[in-house]
Structure 1
Amino acid sequence: MAKTVLVVEDNELNLKLFCDLLRAHGFAVEPVRDGREAVARAREVTPDLIVMDIQMPHVTGYELILELKQDEALRHIPIMAVTAYAGREDEERIRAAGANAYVSKPITLARFMAAVSQLV
């Protein structure tokens, strides 16, 4: 059975890229365009991994990570942040919030998939 990845990304092109790439590598994908829907969707599908942008409208990736990690049913799910924030302090802040991995944009396919493989 395919592992399921919840992809939270407000940019349509990035969402399509991440979903297509994951599907091409045999993953089942659940796309979410709005961080406000991510926790409810995660509860519905209980994904094996959550891939998310950090800079989103309405709910930041930091807020979303904290909410997911405070939820008893979801805190065990690894989170991979994919973001244009590329500074060392940004990575430290993202990991401190609870993300298990960090990939900066623009992504390389090999780095993206290597990070996914380490988490599932």
Structure 2
Amino acid sequence: MMMGKKNEILDLSFDFALEIIKLVKHLKVNKEFVMSDQLLRSGTSVGANITEAQAAQSPKDFIAKMSIASKEARESNYWLRLLDKSDYLNNYPNKLVLFNMSQSIVKLLTSIIKTSREKNK
């Protein structure tokens, strides 16, 4: 078990990836494969990039990794919106949870990137 300081963005992005995996399983049962594959890639990539950023070689590298994570989070939000408007999420119970998580991740990453850039001027 990991000890130490809690990292909100790491925890949130990991939980988001788990929710994305659950949704993709649901979508595949309903025979939706193309958008769900895209969502699986972008949704799980968010946390992977945030995790990579924790071992960044420099502040510039940290900002770059977090920026990639932000782009992936925004892409995930796009796929979620598209799936929703295409009526694939009508009966999905955690739809609002996913949208809220996605928006929270983007806001947190935007703040982290902005703060990091200001510190490293």
Place the TM-score, normalised by the shorter chain, in its bin: under 0.3
Normalising by structure 2, we get a TM-score of 0.27
Normalising by structure 1, we get a TM-score of 0.27
Of structures 1 and 2, the one scoring higher in RCO (CA 8 A, sep 6+) is: 2
Q: Which has the higher helix share?
A: 2
Higher Rg: 2
